[in-house]
Amino acid sequence: MSQIRGRFRKAADKTAAAYTASISFDQRLYVEDIAGSIAHARMLGKQGIISPEEAETIVKCLQEIKDEIEQGKFRFRTELEDIHMSIEARLVEKVGEAGGKLHTARSRNDQVALDMRLYTKKVIAETLLRLKGLQQALVEVAETNRDVVMPGYTHLQRAQPVLLAHHLLAYFEMLQRDADRFGDCLKRADVMPLGSGALAGVAHDIDRDFVAKELGFSSVSRNSMDAVADRDFILEYEAAASICMMHLSRLAEEIILWSSAEFDFIELDDAYATGSSIMPQKKNPDIAELSRGKTGRVYGNLMALLTTMKGLPLAYNRDMQEDKEGFFDTVDTLLSTLEVFAGMVKTLRIKPEKMRQALDKGYLLATDLADYLVKKGAAFRLSHGIVGKLVSYALSKGISLGELSLDEYRRFSPLFADDVHEITAEASMAARNAKGGTAPEQVVQALAEARKTLEMPRRRKKASI
Ligand code: ARG
């Protein structure tokens, strides 16, 4: 820190230094910090702001520092406060005075904004890959179980028969919207802030477009004060991550329910389940539960940063250093959740016979019976009432609707005829054949479309780091 304490007469108090230091967590930005510095040094050399030889030496040493970090030879020191100062200090140590020239036409304010944007772009690319991995797993399970029928629920009450594939593809859609949201976030993260200086711009003949090109950015920021004070791109990632975790948490909840003895629709693979320390019979869905729990953390990180940012006057304020830990935590949580979910979903054992049994016991064809009467000329409200009475009758006898005789049916309405026994789960699903419905024809089509979406390469920004 001594490099920047010229105007002080004392060293920082130990507790003050520890309180302000971010090196323990921002060291993960070393790749981005070094890439940004290399591009900056090249630009300074090209523009004659430093000599080409100095630029070359700086670039070479920065590459060596990267190796040192990767080989675990670099010592991060709290006194050096953050990743920017740590790398610069080591550079000066290695090359002497020329190292001190790297920070010409730059401030840590635009430097940290650059690092965070580079990092965000990198993690968005990884997030998209992992989203795709989970989508692939869902499509695989849907395809191998294409004919499996299950009860669809509303209010967690058995409602109408649906294909399991249809149910799983609902999650495919959610994740596709998540991917779109991250893709959108990428567009706004893809703006190069270096050259904004501390806040007002820099008083040197710099070439910002050159730096942007070197680092794979599509454009440069238009306002220096905004560029150093903006963390919207992190908030957007955290917001998209929150929505995505909410989706994963809903899937987790279904996996938890479905693997309970009460539902018994699926069994988790041993590799994705945990045992109980006391009850030997237990097979617990801990991964699903943890992901449901971790969703709270991801929401919390979003709320924390929104709150941090809301009172800040322009431009940079140190409060903004608080963007990092929550963001890194969100990234780690989301990426690991997506990865483990892909494995957990892919290895689920589906129990088609149990799903079918739940269907038979659930009076799920009641709506179809009402529709049947409507087609025979009854008003829907009337037929709704008739079928309600039928269900109550069947319930009192402890049998399913399919087990009622035609005579029994006709006791409730003379409109019932022989063809009432043609109302089956299969017929019920096949009838829902408008786009987006659970009819097998539609689901086959939806699966093909999902496959096509997965095969489409996402437009990926070239990053040169
Ligand atoms: N560690 C700081 C952060 O993360 C870097 C920027 C420091 N700038 C400053 N003017 N103190 O925000």
pLDDT at 461 over 60: no
Q: Which atom of ligand 1 is nearest to the CA of 316?
A: 10
pLDDT at 6 over 90: no
Structure token digits, residue 281: 């019979």
Tell me, yes or no, whether 189 lies in a domain: yes
How many residues in total does the chain contain?
Answer: 465
Confidence of residue 29 (pLDDT cuts 50, 70, 90): very high
CA distance 85 to 42: 19
Provide the CATH number for the domain around residue 71.
1.10.275.10
Q: Which of 357, 383, 406 is the last residue of a domain?
A: 357
The closest of 69, 159, 82 to 323, measured between CA atoms, is 82
CA distance 219 to 403: 69
The closest of 191, 182, 184 to 126, measured between CA atoms, is 182
Question: Nearest C-alpha to atom 12 of ligand 1 is from which residue?
Answer: 321
Tell me, yes or no, whether 2 lies in a domain: no
pLDDT at 283 over 60: yes
Q: What local confidence, expressed as pLDDT, does residue 423 receive?
A: 94
Question: Taking a C-beta distance cutoff of 8 angstroms, is the pair 234, 120 a contact?
Answer: yes
| Same domain, yes or no: 383 and 246 | no
Q: Which atom of ligand 1 is nearest to the CA of 84?
A: 5
| Same domain, yes or no: 285 and 306 | yes
Please tell me the distance between residue 112's alpha carbon and the centre of ligand 1 in angstroms: 7
Lowest mean pLDDT among 121-125, 275-279, 324-328: 275-279
Confidence of residue 222 (pLDDT cuts 50, 70, 90): very high
Residues with CB under 6 A from ligand 1: 22, 26, 82, 108-109, 112, 316, 318, 320-321
Q: How many CB atoms lie within 10 A of CB 306?
A: 13
Confidence of residue 255 (pLDDT cuts 50, 70, 90): very high
pLDDT at 1 over 70: no
| Same domain, yes or no: 177 and 200 | yes
Q: Which atom of ligand 1 is nearest to the CA of 22?
A: 1
CA distance 376 to 388: 17
CA distance 60 to 327: 31
Structure token digits, residue 367: 């709506």
**151: helix, coil or strand?**
strand
| Same domain, yes or no: 253 and 381 | no
CA distance 13 to 16: 5
Question: Taking a C-beta distance cutoff of 8 angstroms, is the pair 233, 117 a contact?
Answer: yes
Q: What local confidence, expressed as pLDDT, does residue 464 receive?
A: 60
Mutate to test the pocket of ligand 1, among 28, 83, 109 (most ligand atoms within 8 A of CB): 109
Omega before residue 315 within 30° of 0, cis: yes
Q: What local confidence, expressed as pLDDT, does residue 141 receive?
A: 98
Provide the CATH number for the domain around residue 184.
1.20.200.10
Please tell me the distance between residue 220's alpha carbon and the centre of ligand 1 in angstroms: 21
CA distance 287 to 346: 14
Q: Which of 104, 138, 163 is the last residue of a domain?
A: 104
Please tell me the distance between residue 228's alpha carbon and the centre of ligand 1 in angstroms: 10
| Same domain, yes or no: 157 and 198 | yes
Q: Which of 56, 76, 104 is the last residue of a domain?
A: 104
Tell me, yes or no, whether 342 lies in a domain: yes
User: What are φ and ψ of residue 60, in 5° steps?
Assistant: -60, -45
Q: Where are the alpha helices (DSSP H) in 96-231?
A: 108-144, 164-189, 208-215, 224-229
Please tell me the distance between residue 281's alpha carbon and the centre of ligand 1 in angstroms: 53
Residue type, 242: S
| Same domain, yes or no: 325 and 380 | no
Give the burial class of 87: count Cβ atoms within 10 A of its Cβ; 0-12 exposed, 13-18 middle, 19 or more buried. buried
Query: Among all chains, which residue has been given the structure tokens 């800040």?
Result: 312
Q: How many CB atoms lie within 10 A of CB 135?
A: 25
Please tell me the distance between residue 214's alpha carbon and the centre of ligand 1 in angstroms: 24
CA distance 255 to 60: 52
What average pLDDT is seen over the chain?
95
Q: What local confidence, expressed as pLDDT, does residue 2 receive?
A: 57
Torsion on CA atoms 36, 41, 43, 44, rounded to nearest 10? 140
| Same domain, yes or no: 99 and 115 | no
Range of the structural domain that residue 77 is part of: 14-104
Q: Which atom of ligand 1 is nearest to the CA of 318?
A: 12
Condensed to tens digits (0 to 9), the pLDDT of residues 117-137 reads: 999 999 999 999 999 999 999
Question: Nearest C-alpha to atom 3 of ligand 1 is from which residue?
Answer: 321
Condensed to tens digits (0 to 9), the pLDDT of residues 379-435 reads: 999 999 999 999 999 999 999 998 999 999 999 999 999 999 999 999 999 999 999
Query: Among all chains, which residue has been given the structure tokens 């030496």?
Result: 57
| Same domain, yes or no: 190 and 89 | no
Q: What is the DSSP string of 375-409?
A: HTT--HHHHHHHHHHHHHHHHHHT--GGGS-HHHH
Report the catalytic residues.
155, 276
Torsion on CA atoms 325, 328, 329, 331, rounded to nearest 10? 160
Q: What local confidence, expressed as pLDDT, does residue 203 receive?
A: 98
Mutate to test the pocket of ligand 1, among 27, 76, 82, 327 (most ligand atoms within 8 A of CB): 82
Question: Taking a C-beta distance cutoff of 8 angstroms, is the pair 312, 219 a contact?
Answer: no
**% residues pLDDT > 70 (the chain):** 98
Confidence of residue 276 (pLDDT cuts 50, 70, 90): confident
Q: What local confidence, expressed as pLDDT, does residue 194 receive?
A: 98
| Same domain, yes or no: 89 and 117 | no
Tell me, yes or no, whether 82 lies in a domain: yes
Mean pLDDT of 85-105: 96
Mutate to test the pocket of ligand 1, among 321, 324, 325 (most ligand atoms within 8 A of CB): 321
Please tell me the distance between residue 410's alpha carbon and the centre of ligand 1 in angstroms: 80
Instruction: Quote the number of domains for the chain.
Output: 3
Confidence of residue 26 (pLDDT cuts 50, 70, 90): very high
The percent helix, strand, coil of the chain (3-state, each to 5) is: 65, 5, 30
Condensed to tens digits (0 to 9), the pLDDT of residues 164-198 reads: 999 999 999 999 999 999 999 999 999 999 999 99
Question: Taking a C-beta distance cutoff of 8 angstroms, is the pair 40, 102 a contact?
Answer: yes
- Record the pTM: 0.95
Tell me, yes or no, whether 456 lies in a domain: no
| Same domain, yes or no: 289 and 352 | yes
